[in-house]
Chain A
Amino acid sequence: MGLQSNSVPTANSAPTNPVAAKPMVSAQNVAKTVHTYEGALTILQDISLDVAAGESLAIVGASGSGKSTLLGILAGLDLPTSGSVFLNGHHLTDLDEEGRAKVRAENVGFIFQSFQLLPGLTALENVLLPLELHGVSNARAAAAEFLGRVGLAQRLHHYPQQLSGGEQQRVAIARAFASSPRVLFADEPTGNLDSATGARIIELLFDLNRELGTTLVLITHEERLAMRCQRRIELNAGRIANSTVQT
């Protein structure tokens, strides 16, 4: 797949949304401050962004720049200290934890750097977990089908320890897509993989994204992965240093 990188630098003020009118994920003036022994620590500041439905966004930046924190806030795992966050029209910052859980259940999928497969569960059962949690009927068939799609049809009943890192990440992808989320959040999905395996995982991710119309928000250190996204923002010390639309 070829890449056309027509990077267009924009001002670091309010970002525009070139794809759709109603954003799938939206943050307005988000800031995050935590209190530590050394006093208040501002991790995020003045963050505003919109991600349209079906769009893919890469968040890049140095280690400790606040990427994971931002991802957590956008996904409704955590609350910002100030500012508002919307996910598929739900005002996350107005909801309580129960309400956010409900929004997550209906809209969100995750992939993490350290795979987060449950070691006691087989590949199939790991994929089954969100489906069962949401009470999907025919969960087994759906899970098996998704595992087939990521090329693990023969490994349904293997435990994570019996799978390689790439295979484990493919299970994680299958799990993330199995519940057909509107948005998929991924924190360094290829961080632990060698580049060949990483490349295959990237392909898989974008295939599914295209096929299912899933919105993608992912953190990465890998240029290869960042380039595949339609847009990228770069964090620097908790602020958006750069926002780039790529086509």
Chain B
Amino acid sequence: MLALRLLWRNWRSGEVKLLAGALLLAVAVVSGIAIFTDRLQRTLVQESNVLLGADRVVRGSHPHNPEWEQAAKEAGLSQTTAVHFASMVYAGEHMHLASVKAVGEGYPVRGQLETSLVPFAIDPQQITIADGIPAPGEAWVDSRLLPLLNLQLGDRVAVGEYELTVTRVLIREPDSSNPFSFMGARLLMNQADLPLTEVVQPGSRVQYQWLYAGRPADVEAFSAWLEPQLNPHQRLVDVGKNQQNLGRALATSQRFLLLAAVIGVLLASVALALSARQFANRHVDQVALLKSLGASSGRVRRLYFTQLFVLAVLASLAGLLVGEIMQRIVEEALWRSYQIRLGSGTVYPYLISLGSGLICLLFFALPALWFLPYVPPMKILRRELTVGRIQIGVQVALAFFAILLLVLMFSQNLKLAASVIGALVAVLLTTALLALGLLRLSRSLAGSAGSVWRLAVANLQRRREQTLMQIVVFSVAIMLLLTLTIVRTSLLDDWQAQLPDDAPNHFLVNIPQHEVDDIQQLIDERHYQRQPLYPMVRGRLTHINGVELSATKVAREGVFNREANLTWTADLADDNKVVDGNWWPQWQSRHGLPGVSVEVEMAREADLKPGDRLTFSLGGLAMEAEIASLRSLDWRSMRPNFFFIFEPGALDQFSPTYITSLHLPPSDKAFINDLLQRFPTVLVIELDRIFEQIRTIVTNVSDGVQLVLLLTLAAGCLVLLAAVTSSIDSRKQEVGLLRALGSPRRLMLGSVWLEFSLLGLLSGLIAVLGAEILLASLQHWVLETPIKPHYWLWLTGPLLSALLIGGLGVVSCRPAVNTPPAVVLREAG
């Protein structure tokens, strides 16, 4: 086939390499990022599912419908059950209100139970991963239960009417329940023993859990089928609701990765458009020749479009391959440094990558090539004949449309798309204005300058159209690169700020009043920093404005349906903000009731406003309060956060326990054991594990981001290279001529260097302007961080770009300057 032969010859002579390279890069950037994000997302969801013990859990006060089990089995899901309740457990004369969990075979369906034969074990050598659940007659217990009941491993403990042997210490378990809701030490037992304990009676407070897991799509489909069948006492829980922190880190990182993908594609597209232009220019002669030889327009179109199509397919496949390899490299790195295995992805990112390659080709390359079949054959005799190209305005409009399409495809975010387009328009306009003005200025400056300078400026002036186009291309490329770099840095900083190294990483909960001083003292003795201490009373919201909660539509919603932690304080924590109403003591009750401040999102859900009356049940006693204010709070902060905060004194008649937080360096984990051995009633919540997880994710993602950045940088350089070579093409002859006329090499290179550095400087300035606009809109609309200017950018941006582009210019012009003028002239002729 002739088209293929032509393609091969064009390839060999290097004419389509840049074109293919640009397309390859576009597809590689997209696929690398898309495949990686897809897999990362899946992995992160699964990792967090490990915390849940399953992909989804049905929780309720009644057992699940047994018919569902068959359906789940048919859907290919693994499943198990757990029954969760608080019960007194006895050993000799000691007793403790334990948090008992009776689990079925196969528990958990995600994650593992870590156990040990050594209480409070920290050394990984002493910790083993259980390959099952406690055998009938056995119990695995929290370490702290041993001192609480004065037990040893092997001793027996009574749960209701049945005695179990404590065989192992439970170090870690995945758990879906709210760590604040059951304060007792955990006792894990086999569900087969449950009837023997006779603890679960009609009316006793028990939470039934049905856990299932499977392939993401299967889980989704099954959950969609299941949800409508739940009764009012059952809830379907997934990680999203449980893991706010992970979710947020994930969302931001994904947005960043997608942004990077978009920017990478845009850069590659610009390179594609430029190289297509260059290709078209070089091929006008070839087309005219083919036509004079009797090829019709249709034939020429077929020949060229076949070439383009084949090239596109090959380049896209190669791009896909490169993308795949890249994401495998990241995967390998993840495995080596964090022992994280990425889950398998879907075909979706592969399709997206090919699709974006196609869009790039259609909207960036094709318009530049469209006129080729219409080159008049007479061109072969009259070189100066002009050819009707697609108007540059139309090409730009098409490009903008494609950009919109691409950005929307990746982000499904109209604001992001608008931001990018807006910044591009700004760059175009400023370029037009600024470039014209600055060129004029540099010309008047050049009047009094040396010959190198004059030659450089004269060159810029003479090729004004080309110069303007180059400035646009350079500034767009540099703008995108700057934006990406800055977004990445601020994103990482943001994450770091979210997780300061000395942030409290443990909660101490359930501290009895009489132990508060001793514990504070212990903390002081170890020179740990004291954190605020909050009193806490557990209570349940029962009435809103006198209407029973169970009669309202919010009855089924999460927080309203379970006991909440109530506290009181005189001072508002700094990350809490009153958004409606007043904080005490400015607040005055209308009904003579004590005041309560409610978290704003919860208030919105239930349509609560200041002045509404809330009735709580605290240990069977009812108390009424009036909403004084609505508060927003930062869930990302690792402090105790409360939905309801009362005014001081309001809860005096209820005996509180206390909660505080603590920062423990990893080397001091043993402190927890000391603490628990001395104060076994205290519940320690190890946030450091969650921190660790978030940190791992952040590091992973930023590694990925690093790679993406490198790739886009490559795309950017390709753009610059394409722009520089296209102008070098046209100046080879001139350089040859000047050399033939005896211009010294130094002067030639000097003027080229100056010319391109000048171009770089101008483009750098415009790029910084565009980047600031883009960054501001990104920060405002997409990343939702405060807008702030980047002063140092105004200095480094133009300088770096002058250096880079000046260098590129010299490097690509050097061969023309160095080869003997005769050769250059012959080649150019």
Contact = CB atoms under 8 A, between A and B. Distances in A.
Interface string A101-131: 1111110101010101011110001000110
Interface string B39-53: 000000000000000
A140 to B, nearest CB: 11
A156 B528 CA distance: 86
Contacts of A179: 293
B5 A132 contact: yes
Given A120-B12, A161-B827, A106 B381 contact: no
A133 B294 contact: yes
Interface stretch (B141-149, B372-380, B711-719, B800-808): B372-380
B292 interface: yes
B380 A110 contact: yes
Contacts of A78: 376-378
A77 interface: yes
A134 B297 contact: no
Contacts of B377: 77-78, 101, 104
A102 B381 CA distance: 19
A187 interface: yes
A72 B294 contact: no
Contact of A116 (B285, B294, B295): B285
Contacts of B829: 114
Mostly, the B contact residues are helix
Contact of B381 (A77, A98, A101, A132): A77
A98 B285 contact: no
B380 A120 contact: no
Interface in A74-89: 75, 77-78
Given A72-B378, A77-B377, A101 B294 contact: yes
A118 B285 contact: yes
Mostly, the A contact residues are helix
Nearest to B291: A101
Interface string A195-227: 000000000000000000000000000000000
B292 A68 contact: no
Which of B2, B291, B294, B383 lies at the interface centre, i.e. has the most chain A CB atoms within 10 A of its CB? B294
A106 B15 CA distance: 30
B292 A120 contact: no
Which of A77, A104, A108 lies at the interface centre, i.e. has the most chain B CB atoms within 10 A of its CB? A77
Contacts of B289: 116, 118, 129
B826 interface: yes
A69 B382 CA distance: 8
B296 interface: yes
B529 to A, nearest CB: 73
A108 B13 CA distance: 28
B233 to A, nearest CB: 77
Given A120-B10, A125-B9, A133 B298 contact: no
A94 interface: no
A102 B293 contact: no
Interface string B801-829: 00000000000000000000000001101
B398 interface: no
A6 to B, nearest CB: 32
Contacts of A106: 294
A104 B290 CA distance: 11
A102 B380 contact: no
B87 to A, nearest CB: 85
Given A120-B13, A121-B13, A125-B9, A108 B296 contact: no
A71 interface: yes
Contacts of A101: 291, 294-297, 299, 377
B15 A97 contact: no
B346 interface: no
A108 B294 contact: yes
B378 A116 contact: no
B799 to A, nearest CB: 39
A97 B826 CA distance: 34
B290 A133 contact: yes
A104 B13 contact: no
B286 interface: yes
B381 A187 contact: yes
A105 B289 CA distance: 12
Contacts of B299: 101, 133
Contacts of B290: 129, 133
A106 B380 CA distance: 18
Contacts of B296: 97-98, 101-102
A102 B297 contact: no
B295 A105 contact: yes
B381 A112 contact: yes
Interface residues of A, number: 33
Contacts of A77: 291-292, 376-378, 380-381
Contact of A161 (B14, B383, B826): B826
Contacts of B294: 101-106, 108, 130, 133-134
A108 B299 CA distance: 17
Nearest to B827: A161
Contact of A110 (B10, B292, B295, B382): B292
Given A120-B12, A121-B9, A125-B9, A112 B295 contact: no
A186 to B, nearest CB: 11
B381 A71 contact: yes
Contacts of A69: 382
A35 to B, nearest CB: 14
A168 to B, nearest CB: 10
A108 B296 CA distance: 14
Nearest to A96: B296
Contacts of A72: 378, 381-382
B380 A105 contact: no
Contacts of A129: 289-290, 293
Contact of A119 (B2, B13, B293): B13
A230 B545 CA distance: 115
Which of A114, A120, A129 lies at the interface centre, i.e. has the most chain B CB atoms within 10 A of its CB? A120
A92 to B, nearest CB: 12
A133 B293 contact: yes
Contacts of B382: 68-69, 72
A97 B297 contact: yes
A122 to B, nearest CB: 9
Nearest to A114: B829
A132 B303 CA distance: 12
B286 A112 contact: no
Nearest to A112: B380
Given A101-B295, A105-B293, A68 B2 contact: no
Nearest to B298: A98
Interface in B345-388: 376-378, 380-383
A130 B299 CA distance: 13
A133 B2 contact: yes
Nearest to B374: A97
A163 to B, nearest CB: 10
A4 B295 CA distance: 40
Nearest to B377: A77
A187 to B, nearest CB: 6
B160 to A, nearest CB: 89
Interface string B264-293: 000000000000000000000110011111
Interface in A115-161: 116, 118-121, 125, 129-130, 132-134, 161
B730 to A, nearest CB: 15
B297 A98 contact: yes
Nearest to B294: A105
Nearest to A122: B9
Given A77-B291, A98-B298, 10 more contacts: A68-B382, A77-B380, A78-B376, A101-B295, A101-B296, A112-B380, A118-B286, A121-B13, A130-B293, A133-B2
Interface of A: 68-69, 71-72, 75, 77-78, 97-98, 101-106, 108, 110, 112, 114, 116, 118-121, 125, 129-130, 132-134, 161, 179, 187
17 contacts: A71-B381, A77-B378, A77-B380, A78-B378, A98-B297, A101-B295, A101-B297, A101-B299, A105-B293, A105-B295, A112-B380, A119-B827, A121-B13, A130-B294, A132-B2, A133-B294, A133-B299
